[in-house]
Structure 1
Amino acid sequence: MNAPIILFAYKRPVELKATIQALQANHLASTSDLYIFVDAPKRPEDAAKVDQVHKLLDTVSGFRTIHRDYAKTNIGCADSIIRGISQVLTKYPSAIVVEDDIVTAPNFLDFMNQCLNQYADNQRVYSISGYTLPFQRPADYTSDAYCIPRHSPWGWATWADRWQSVDWDMTDYPDFEKDKWQQKEFMRGGSDLFKMLRDQMEGRADAWDIRFCYNRFKVDGVTVYPTISKVENIGFGKEATHTDIYNRYKTKLDDGSQRVFDLPSFTGPTPYYHRQTLERYSVPTRIYNRLKTLAGMR
């Protein structure tokens, strides 16, 4: 049985339409259950676009079953996602999560379901990503996936037991904040991770994914990524919640023709891809990208 798909939306009907059309074009769409969650307007001026989103989602078809949950009052970005995933994962052992700015390749669901089956019993594999940066694949690398100590929230999947183990209140953060060695270990997934976590804990961000990534770190977990991206993020721009910046995440989307994947046996982070990831999230690279944002590039 395929894992259910959880779709989160808010006030972006144009991007959402592209997201839905891409999901409908997936090979496994018609045999997958779809759970839709839409948050209520945060401000009166958001109401019209949220209503457009409702009307669009009311007509969705092409999946085995469709379940809709439209919030009556605003929950907030992070809490809405935590609530929706928690609700679905009380019924299923795993789930695939997509937000309203994600375009998926036709084989996205194939890849996610095969990875969920392959790594279900390996507790160190904390999540599956559908996205990857456009890294050059080494000629001698034969697998269709790799592992790194960093979570990606753009078209991803996890299991109920991993999700239910997360401490969303971050009760041990005060100790972590004082421990330089732990902070250094956390940033084995990228030099930006500790700042994102601190912004969340000090109220400058409303994010669930950095807390999920921190809980992954606590169990020395990894995320499995495809060598060719099954996801493209189209959410960069003024309507985006967190991505009104230079798009340093442009990637090449899989053509979707491959249906069966060669998945690696777990041996920890994949050295080549780990090094490439650290380079992309290094301080000099992030400063360079910030300058591009200030120059108005997208």
Structure 2
Amino acid sequence: MTTQLAPIVIFAFNRPNHLAELLKSLSQNKEFAESELYIYVDGPRDSSGLKLVQETREVAKSFLGVKAKHLVMREQNLGLGSSLKTGVTEVLSKSDKIIVLEDDLIVTNSFLKYMNAGLTKYQTEPKVASIHGYCFGFDQPIKDPFFLRGADCLGWATWKDRWESINWDPRVLLNRIENLGQIQDFNLDGSHSYYSALQGEAKKGFHSWAIYWHASMFSEGRLTLFPGTSLVEYAGADGSGTHVVENSEFWKTEISTETNWVFPEVIAESEVGREQLIAYYYRIFPKLPLLGRIFRRIKFEFKRQFKLI
């Protein structure tokens, strides 16, 4: 029986060259020809930005002229958060699963195979929140796909019921994480500031859709599958994006050539993966005093050597 491929949804704005590169990379996936494709292009913020938005629309139109699918051109500027939130909800009103990409990503030629295989394998496992295509450049790469708690946003896929379980009220999410006594876990032992980001949403209003996605799945104890080696290259750290400043070192990662994966049968967070991610964040953004970082490294190596993780 042939597995039904998930529709692909791309969110673009004013970077025509980035969109063209993403579409080129996607077209090198053999599954792409049979996949339903949606492209959402946000409207310009003002008249000065109209030219680049129009050029981005033309890239989408020219591609969709060959692959006649769905193009949604926003008349008003919704911003990425609102555009993605409404677009994903619209597509999932017609489908039970989805693959989501933003225009500043480049994917490998096995990306769609991996995403669809993960969606098929874990569709009936409600503890699995999503399938993720990007993985950070860990010091000690993990060979096979692994689970981490929560969700992520750089080339991902999910199911309708998981998306519908998101809570879009930051105060509810803050209270839920506080009541669970898991602020430290949520912040990956202080290596990241997810909790502060959620507090910012409560104070300033809706800005980043991704923190609601991650916090909702984390607080529900759900997990996301990550590849051992990245199937996605992040090309947005060139100063062209709205929310990410240039930092090529942070996003640098090895790109996978794998086409066959051993997916975990046990649905549980990988302690090795979690420790590697914490170590990675501390290496890129050192926040602990030097002795604290050394202690964390020694602790990790001890546990690894004695097979405690």
CA distance 1:217–1:15, change in 2 (3 Å)? same
- 1:71-110 Cα offsets, whole Å, 9 max, x none, are 1111121010000000001111110001000000000000
Amino acid at match of 2:285: R
State the 1:36 CA deviation.
Answer: 0.7
Amino acid at match of 1:175: N
- Residue among 68, 71, 75 paired with 1:68: 71
CA distance in 1, matches of 2:236, 2:159: 26
Amino acid at match of 1:130: G
* Equivalent position of 1:240 in the other structure: 241
CA distance in 2, matches of 1:60, 1:253: 26
Residue correspondences, number: 281
Structure 2, unmatched stretches of 5+, are 288-309
CA distance in 1, matches of 2:150, 2:238: 24
- Single out whichever of 128-137 and 158-167 deviates more from structure 2: 128-137
The question of whether the paired residues in 1 share the 8 Å contact of 2:146 and 2:227 is answered with yes
Say whether 1:44 aligns with 2:47.
yes
Amino acid at match of 1:80: S
> Could you say what the CA RMSD is over the residues aligned between the two structures, in angstroms?
2.2
* Equivalent position of 1:181 in the other structure: 181
State the 1:134 CA deviation.
Answer: 2.2
CA distance 1:12–1:64, change in 2 (3 Å)? closer
* Equivalent position of 1:149 in the other structure: 149
- 1:27-50 Cα offsets, whole Å, 9 max, x none, are 211011101111101122111100
CA distance 1:122–1:133, change in 2 (3 Å)? same
Amino acid at match of 1:254: S
CA distance 1:285–1:59, change in 2 (3 Å)? closer
- 1:204-260 Cα offsets, whole Å, 9 max, x none, are 8711011110100121011100011110010012221122132212111223xx433
- Single out whichever of 78-87 and 60-69 deviates more from structure 2: 60-69
Mapping of residues 86-235 of structure 1, within 5 Å: 86-135=89-138, 136-137=140-141, 144-170=144-170, 172-173=172-173, 175-176=175-176, 181-188=181-188, 191-203=192-204, 206-235=207-236
* Equivalent position of 2:251 in the other structure: 249
- Single out whichever of 264-273 and 90-99 deviates more from structure 2: 264-273
Mapping of residues 19-30 of structure 1, within 5 Å: 19-30=22-33
* Equivalent position of 1:281 in the other structure: 281
Q: Give the 3-state SS of the residue equivalent to 1:128 in structure 2.
A: strand
State the 1:286 CA deviation.
Answer: 1.5
Q: Which has the larger radius of gyration?
A: 2
Amino acid at match of 1:119: Y
CA distance 1:210–1:80, change in 2 (3 Å)? same
Identity %: 27
* Equivalent position of 1:260 in the other structure: 260
The question of whether the paired residues in 2 share the 8 Å contact of 1:130 and 1:226 is answered with yes
Amino acid at match of 1:39: D
CA distance in 1, matches of 2:44, 2:273: 40
CA distance 1:63–1:179, change in 2 (3 Å)? farther
CA distance in 1, matches of 2:65, 2:185: 44
TM-score (norm 1): 0.87
CA distance in 1, matches of 2:245, 2:286: 16
State the 1:278 CA deviation.
Answer: 1.4
Amino acid at match of 1:252: E
Q: Give the 3-state SS of the residue equivalent to 2:30 in structure 1.
A: coil
**Structure with greater proportional helix content:** 2
The question of whether the paired residues in 2 share the 8 Å contact of 1:192 and 1:281 is answered with no
Q: Give the 3-state SS of the residue equivalent to 2:131 in structure 1.
A: strand
State the 1:196 CA deviation.
Answer: 2.0
Amino acid at match of 1:137: P
Amino acid at match of 2:47: P
CA distance in 2, matches of 1:107, 1:177: 36
State the 1:168 CA deviation.
Answer: 1.4
